[in-house]
Amino acid sequence: MATLKYLASLTNNQEFLSRRPNILIVDDQVITIQTLTQIFADDHEVFMATSGQKALEFCMKTPPDLILLDIMMPDMDGLEVCARLKQDELTADIPVLFVTSQNDSAEESRALMAGGIDFISKPVNPDVVRARVKTHITLKLQHDLLKELVFTDPLTGLPNRRSFDNSFDKEWRHCQRYGKSLAILMIDIDFFKQYNDHYGHQHGDICLAAVAACLDASFRRPHDVVARYGGEEFICLMSECELDAAVSKAETLLHAIMEQEIPHIRSRVCEMITISIGVAATVPGNSHDQATLITAADKKLYAAKQAGRNRVES
């Protein structure tokens, strides 16, 4: 059954597709920026940059849905800007439409080879450029939506295991580069099989969604990740976090779940839903890998269960 959380996510997806798209116009000619801004201002959030370097800086901070990029610019031309965008994971999927006064097949080939998806000649025809931008933005938003669905657990709305693995790899490399500690919290709902047996799987799904929402609401740092790892198990990734701080957060999670007061009369701990948490942290190095850290947290989760559940082991 699709839970209320999942149905809400479908509604949000419709809003996602209908929101005002963000367009970045990159050109060293003010008249071109003004012309394109007038064309798109009513239906889009329009941003502008007058150089390739400013465009790259903007995209790293606020990736737009689409870029209208001039080819002929001083210092860094549009071809180099596009190539740099395609080399970075954060900006590689942004569609780039080249806008140029040059109108020959060789120029168009270079633009497409650099990673552009379309080629528009100056002076621009408002109807043509509007139609092409609409097509490419629609494709981009659909791509983003599909990507979101692929990496989202439909029951809880949390990132799924595939999404977590991608985040883990990224944060591992980040902490390795800067010598920072990386912490993992492995979380399991206590006696969840007994909960399902007594209350039924429909209520079990609702319980999972409620626990997921509580865990997700407990994290505020942008690089922290809470994901559904499988079944009634969740995993939390805390970048640049020492073991003591991770344990403190785990204790906070224990109390947050208890405060939900979800009845569980078949629990052997108390008559409410509780969780057990295993915590491990390390400064990533060459002597061990990501699997070692997850295994360490998993072993501590097992120790928490063996010690009576509703507790943290680290």
Catalytic positions:
232
Give the per-residue SS3 of 222-268.
CCCEEEEEECCEEEEEEECCCHHHHHHHHHHHHHHHHHHCCECCCCC
How far is it, in rounded angstroms, from Cα 1 to Cα 197? 17
Nearest CA among 148, 171, 168, 152 for reference residue 160: 152
**Amino acid code (one letter) for 231:** G
The CA–CA distances, whole Å, from 49 to 31, 77, 133 equal 13, 13, 18
Strands lying side by side in the sheet with 182-189:
225-230, 233-239, 182-189, 275-282, 312-313
How far is it, in rounded angstroms, from Cα 279 to Cα 249? 10
DSSP annotation of 272 reads B
DSSP annotation of 103 reads -
Q: What angle do CA 167, 171, 175 make, to 5 degrees?
A: 170
Angle between helices 4-18 and 126-150 (to 10 degrees): 160
How far is it, in rounded angstroms, from Cα 136 to Cα 68? 11
Q: Is the dihedral of CA 312, 229, 2, 203 positive or negative?
A: negative
For tokens 């849905």, what's the residue? 65
